[in-house]
Amino acid sequence: MAGKEFVVLAEKFPMFSFAGEADLWLASINLPGKKKKLLLVQLRERRVTQFETRKIIGVGLDYTAEGNFSIVFNDLKLRSFASDAFAIGHELGHTFGFDLTRTPPSPMINHTSLDYSYYDERGRWKGCHLEDFCNAFAGQWLLRNGRALIVRACRNQYSTIHGYNVTIDPCSIIET
């Protein structure tokens, strides 16, 4: 894969104690000598049990009534399969900032804190390390699973998650 490489998130994001756990989890997707971990298993390990659409800005992570996570897609505009695939990976990245041993999972960091922001030389806000971590995580997750597999899973459920305010079980999307 020219131009594609594995990144060690713990080295790139040392400010997050959970980055090493994310690296280990990503490595567990394709362990040598073992069958690749199914996408549904990956989602359930991170306690993502629903996808839903709402009229929101962007994509987000929310709690289900059972105390797990739901990935909420923006229902205000058309999306692409590739952007949905990346969004799933990005939101999975956010789950590493939560204690999954608790129900509902409790935040281990303040997800809205400006402590994770960075600024340009004039002091203007430029970005957020947490969002950068989640973007890097998404890239690594797609790389380990194969972007085409995730995009195909999104394509298979296009009519389910695009244009309807519905809640669905990820297994109806993922197992292709």
> Out of 14-28, 101-115, 148-162, which region has the weakest mean confidence (pLDDT)?
148-162
DSSP state of 38: P
> Tell me, what's the pLDDT at 156?
61
pLDDT at 162 over 50: no
The answer for residues whose C-beta is within 8 angstroms of residue 64's C-beta and 6 or more apart is 49, 50, 70
pLDDT given for residue 59 in this prediction: 82
Positive or negative, the Cα torsion across 83, 89, 93, 96? positive
Mean pLDDT of 48-57: 81
- Assign 151 a pLDDT band (cuts: 50, 70, 90): confident
Encode pLDDT of 25-47 as tens digits: 999 998 888 888 988 889 999 99
Residues 79-106: tens digit of each pLDDT: 777 888 898 999 999 999 999 999 999 9
For the question of whether the overall pTM of this predicted structure is more than 0.85, the answer is no
Neighbours of 62 (CB within 10 A): 13
Please give the span between the terminal C-alpha atoms of the chain, in angstroms, as a whole number.
Answer: 23
Check whether 166 has a pLDDT greater than 60: no
Q: pLDDT tens digits, residue range 92-144? A: 999 999 999 999 999 888 767 767 777 778 887 777 888 999 999 999 999 99
